[in-house]
């Protein structure tokens, strides 16, 4: 049984993974900014699973959460940085400054904050897997999503360097989930997103893949089939 921390757990891919890992017999520890969604997860999952209202863009918030989780459950075996935002589609020069900054605060800073506050305990424990969610737009680009592309290209570089820094036997991968019909895809593509698989179907492939990751995968650019 593994302890699995997932950010952005309240909907979309995060929620689908939470269901999948629970059904596979693992302990899910997740966070979201939505208090109402977190309360629903607590009611549905019960103990020993744990869900908290956390803003990953707030370092102090993440630091306090990580300390509490490690104290109550121990270091995670798998840390999944899933929380992310996408910009409203428009040309880069039309993107509001606050929106651009928020994407980096959540997508990049939030990933750094969880790594900074969970990974030391994982290293002390002697093992761990870090999965940073990337995107096809972290390895290619499209018009009108330049801010999102920039954050995911940053995740690719961050993860590659992290893999070189971790002790032998640890795993850090950038994972492209593929194209899934989530709220985020609806924002980018509108009704064109309807033709793609839903998060629940996606999770039947993603959950076993993540559970199978080992040292040979560290530093690789992986994709969910």
Identify the pLDDT of residue 189. Answer: 58
**Number of helices (H), then strands (E), in the chain:** 8, 7
Peptide bond into 123 cis (omega under 30): no
The string of pLDDT tens digits covering residues 137-196 is 999 999 999 999 999 999 999 999 999 999 999 999 999 999 887 666 556 555 555 566
Is residue 55 scored above 80 in pLDDT? Answer: yes
Q: Can you give the pLDDT at residue 183?
A: 65
**Per-chain mean pLDDT for the chain:** 94
Of 19-23, 45-49, 192-196, the poorest mean pLDDT is in 192-196
Each residue's pLDDT tens digit, 82-131: 999 999 999 999 999 999 999 999 999 999 999 999 999 999 999 999 99
Average pLDDT over residues 41-66: 98
pTM for the complete prediction?
A: 0.94
Domains and CATH numbers, the chain: 3-223 (3.40.50.720)
Write out the catalytic residue numbers: 148
Q: How far is CA 100 from CA 57, 97, 154, 188, in A?
A: 13, 5, 14, 15
Query: What digits encode the pLDDT tens for the residues 91-101?
Result: 999 999 999 99
User: What does the pLDDT look like over 186-222, one tens digit per residue?
Assistant: 565 555 555 667 899 999 999 999 999 999 999 999 9
pLDDT score at 180: 82
DSSP H stretches of helix in the chain: 12-23, 35-45, 59-73, 97-104, 110-125, 146-165, 183-189, 199-212
């Amino acid at each position: 049984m593994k302890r699995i921390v997932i950010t952005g757990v309240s909907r979309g891919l995060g929620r689908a993974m939470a269901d999948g890992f629970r059904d596979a017999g693992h302990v899910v520890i997740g966070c979201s900014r939505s208090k109402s969604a977190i309360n629903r997860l607590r009611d549905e999952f019960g103990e020993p699973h744990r869900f908290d209202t956390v803003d990953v863009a707030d370092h102090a918030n993440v630091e306090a959460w990580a300390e509490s989780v490690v104290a109550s459950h121990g270091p995670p075996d798998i840390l999944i940085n899933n929380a992310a935002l996408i910009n409203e589609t428009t040309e880069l020069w039309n993107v509001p400054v606050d929106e651009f900054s928020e994407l980096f605060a959540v997508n990049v800073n939030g990933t750094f904050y969880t790594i900074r506050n969970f990974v030391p305990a994982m290293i002390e424990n002697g093992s761990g897997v870090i999965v940073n969610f990337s995107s096809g737009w972290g390895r290619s680009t499209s018009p009108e999503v330049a801010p999102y592309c920039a954050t995911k290209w940053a995740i690719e570089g961050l993860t590659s360097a992290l893999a070189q820094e971790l002790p032998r036997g640890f795993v850090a991968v950038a994972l492209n989930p593929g194209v899934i019909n989530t709220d985020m895809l609806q924002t980018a593509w509108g009704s064109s997103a309807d033709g793609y698989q839903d998060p629940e179907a996606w999770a039947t492939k993603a959950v076993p893949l993540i559970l199978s990751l080992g040292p040979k995968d560290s530093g690789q650019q992986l994709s969910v089939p």
